[in-house]
Structure 1
Amino acid sequence: MKNSLKELFSLENKCAFVTGGAGYLGEAITEALLEQGAKVIIGSRNLKKCEEKCKELEAKLNVKGKVFAIEIDVTDTKSVNEAFQKIEQDFGELDILVNNAWSGNKNSFESISETDWQYDINMSLSSVFRCAKTALPLLQQTKGVILNITSMYGHVAPDYRIYDGIEFTNPPSYGAAKAGVIQLTKYMASFFSPYEIRVNCLSPGPFPHPVTQQNEAFMKQLSAKNPLNRIGQPHEIKGAVALLCSDASSYMTGQNICVDGGWAVW
């Protein structure tokens, strides 16, 4: 029986799949799983980007033969089915699913079109349902884990005073979708519990992409909004990922863990 912290956090002999695993926060998630001993499949619509990231991570972490690329479009049911069929065929099992993939346009409530709204809901919410449903038979076999990456804006509203214009604003579709993911996480935690599958979500706070960080005025506003008075760095989600994907959280399910510098406390 595992009881030491080293054993509880170990992911040796585990197989994980991270959608969007080559992205800004996705890379940190992938690193966390690799560092704990898992073999990790990273998925993206951009297979070349994934393959290049695999090579980078192999060299950086000395994990040759433990990180793999796969093509998947999480907005397309056929692509999702094909990706999970390939995972089953090539790896035989799946222990951990991390739903992290995201893409979308910046929009204010006034500028957003119905097409953009539908895309964002499909990308951020329907994709989680789609991947979890397709992965369920594999996860039933391993009594696996699902980790859904949500957002602080899934449970609090953006402060309009720090979002001026459209370039750096937060679209209404994003928070609505992420709120849906938090509720879907709770639903799956309940209904997947007979299979001993745990489902949790992680809500990052302000982790703006490097291109956004070039706007010093916006970064100052964003930082001042937070109790820790700064933005987050990608490595700062790795501890929560390691916890929620390992047996260190074996008595946790249906939870939303916030890694946000205290954003929602005031």
Structure 2
Amino acid sequence: MMLKNKKILVVGAAGLLGATLVKELLAQGATVIAADISLDRLNSRLVGLGVAADNADVIRKQIDLANKTALTAMFTELDGLTGAVNCSYPRNKNYGKHFFDVLPEDFNENISLNLGSSFLFMQQCAAYFKRTEMPFSLVNISSVYGVVAPKFEIYDKTPMTMPVEYAAIKSGLIHMSKYVAKYVGDSRFRVNLVSPGGIFDHQPAEFLNAYKKETFGKGMLDVTDVLGSIVFLLSSMAEFVNGQNIVVDDGFSM
């Protein structure tokens, strides 16, 4: 078990990646604080994955990452944290439109909701480290589309697109993570990222087939394919890995 005696905070824990990660962290021996804006959704997702509602190694918390007062209070209450993973992806109801249909106010709101809350979360993680001076590993989730330009042709014949907000958020997150690691400048406080390729979530067959041709054979990732890199960065095996971005995409970005 790579994370025995570790205590990890996962925000966005009710999402596809977040909930699956909580289960894996438990299997790796960690105690987990699972936080999300919806406790009902969080509990339902975890139980659906086989994480019992009375599992003493999971502490469930409701949190709005855009609420500085609530987030600061949560970090004040927590003790013994050794790491955190931000799996959240807040957005408004108009998120995801095609480029020419995106209104500036929606673009600005989605950047603020997502990148703004990520900034606040990183700031509070850094403040927690400064207060406790305990080794701390923060892992942010970016994307292959934070690294390379979109391959728009794989969206042909589907109603899907690669949202411009997503590209701005995920690329910005990479640089902001490096900024925070450099600003704190202490080898005991690590900030790294994992950038997955596309994760399977019942997308249209046309898209799945086109996407697979851009990889070495895997195609869309299973959500479990991303977990190993996150666990590694949270573990003592990555003790001096800092400011790095691990791309997990089976060659999609090449």
Please say whether Structure 1 and Structure 2 have the same fold, judged by a TM-score greater than 0.5.
Answer: yes
Task: Tell me the alpha carbon deviations over residues 73-125 of structure 1, each in whole angstroms, 9 at most, x when there is no partner.
Answer: 12332332233334x2xxx2321111110143222110112232123212332
Question: In terms of mean alpha carbon deviation, does 186-195 or 61-70 score higher?
Answer: 61-70
Flag structure 1 segments of 5+ consecutive residues without an equivalent: 1-5
What number of residue pairs does the alignment pair up? 249
Per the alignment, residue 112 of structure 2 pairs with 122
Letter aligned with residue 64 of structure 1: N
Per the alignment, residue 77 of structure 1 pairs with 68
- Distance in 2 of aligned mates of 1:35 and 1:191: 33
Change (3 A) 1:11 1:263: same
Flag structure 2 segments of 5+ consecutive residues without an equivalent: none
Letter aligned with residue 84 of structure 1: F
Change (3 A) 1:64 1:228: same
- Distance in 2 of aligned mates of 1:116 and 1:227: 36
Given that residues 147 and 171 in structure 2 are in contact (C-alpha distance below 8 angstroms), is that contact kept between their aligned partners in structure 1? yes
Letter aligned with residue 99 of structure 2: F
Change (3 A) 1:117 1:100: same
- Distance in 2 of aligned mates of 1:180 and 1:206: 19
- Distance in 1 of aligned mates of 2:64 and 2:200: 23
Residue 62 of structure 1 and its aligned partner are, at CA, apart by: 11
- Distance in 1 of aligned mates of 2:181 and 2:118: 13
Change (3 A) 1:118 1:93: farther
Residue 14 of structure 1 and its aligned partner are, at CA, apart by: 1.7
Letter aligned with residue 106 of structure 2: D
Letter aligned with residue 109 of structure 1: F
Q: Give the alignment partner of residue 251 of structure 1, picking from 240, 245, 251.
A: 240
Question: Which structure has more helix as a fraction of its residues?
Answer: 1
Change (3 A) 1:242 1:171: same
Report the aligned-residue RMSD.
2.2
Q: 2:214 matched to 1:232?
A: no
Q: 2:90 matched to 1:99?
A: no
Q: Give the alignment partner of residue 6 of structure 2, picking from 4, 8, 14.
A: 14
Given that residues 102 and 124 in structure 1 are in contact (C-alpha distance below 8 angstroms), is that contact kept between their aligned partners in structure 2? yes
SS in 2 for 1:230: coil
Per the alignment, residue 3 of structure 1 pairs with none
Letter aligned with residue 246 of structure 2: I
Residue 166 of structure 1 and its aligned partner are, at CA, apart by: 8.1
Given that residues 136 and 190 in structure 2 are in contact (C-alpha distance below 8 angstroms), is that contact kept between their aligned partners in structure 1? yes
- Distance in 2 of aligned mates of 1:42 and 1:245: 15
- Distance in 2 of aligned mates of 1:41 and 1:227: 36
- Distance in 1 of aligned mates of 2:219 and 2:82: 35
- Distance in 1 of aligned mates of 2:128 and 2:65: 18
